[in-house]
Amino acid sequence: MAERKSWDSAYKYLFSSRQVFHQFLTRFVEEDFVQGLAVEDVELVDKSFVSDELLDRESDIIYRVDLPGREVYVYVLLEFQSSPDKTIPVRMLLYILQLYDQLFRSSTKGLLPAVFPVLLYNGSRPWNVPFNISELIAREIPARYIPSFEYYPIIERDIPPERLEQIKGLVAAIMYLEQQEDETALARTIDRAIAMIAEEQPEQLRQFGHWINRMFRGSLDTGDIEKVHQLTEVQTMLAEVVEKIEQRGVEQGMQQGMQQARREDARKMVLEGLEIPLVSRITGLSEQVIREMQKEQK
């Protein structure tokens, strides 16, 4: 997969939009309390509510959700390591307890609000960490004294591409592209991703453009992205990205071919008995590389 900027910061930017977070919550969380929510019912928690220490962590996002007669909080942990982390249940519970401590400092009246914990994992390896922290704790004491805390897992690799195409929308399109193994596969599937965001508003189309720019190492001009208002403009930009990917592939192939030719020339020169420093000057290969080739020939 292409070299990319921090996934955590990319998703934090994406979920700073209440429209995008609402889409994520209502289309990927299969729980009754999120069904029927309006965009206006979700609000990103700002620094007036929790401490800087909680908000500044790149991997954490928290929203307030207004339900009829009450409010709950949705806490999302972004886990974008290549392999599962066994400490995730502990980290999630610790974050929520820190949040509750912050709430107690503000007021001790009434019950604490419910916090719904969500894990979003986009690693390539299977997620094999228990969903409940109690499964990580030894059972030498009665079960009622062992903490029970369960999180809601959203494991991208386990969502079939066909399902993402049915869900549609910005978040589904991004997950669809993330499932591709390399830049070539991404280029082949961009058209399908475009079809998945056909009903998005201009703001979401621009967010998609910024996301693509992160994935493909700044292949687009950010000024052009900000001018996007309709789907055809996104398609034009992505055609430019695909062209650059193909050009990079051609250039890499040419570089590899030239490198192989230089090595073959150096091999012949060494067999003819030319001194290594001279071979290095002629071919441009380092003396160390030529010595290693000489050892292989012997």
User: Three-state SS for 273?
Assistant: coil
Going through the chain in order, the beta strands assigned E by DSSP cover: 42-44, 60-67, 70-79, 115-121, 152-155
pLDDT by residue (tens digit) across 187-237? 677 778 888 888 888 888 888 777 777 766 655 666 656 656 666 676 666
Which pTM does this prediction carry?
0.72
Q: Per-residue pLDDT tens for 62-116? A: 999 999 888 899 999 988 877 888 999 999 999 899 888 888 877 767 888 899 9
Extended strands (E) in 108-149:
115-121
Ranges of each domain in the chain: 7-250, 262-297
User: Rounded to whole angstroms, how far apart are CA atoms 243 and 187?
Assistant: 9
pLDDT tens column, 11-54 = 777 888 899 999 999 999 999 999 889 999 999 987 555 555 55
Which SS3 state, helix, strand or coil, does residue 48 take? coil
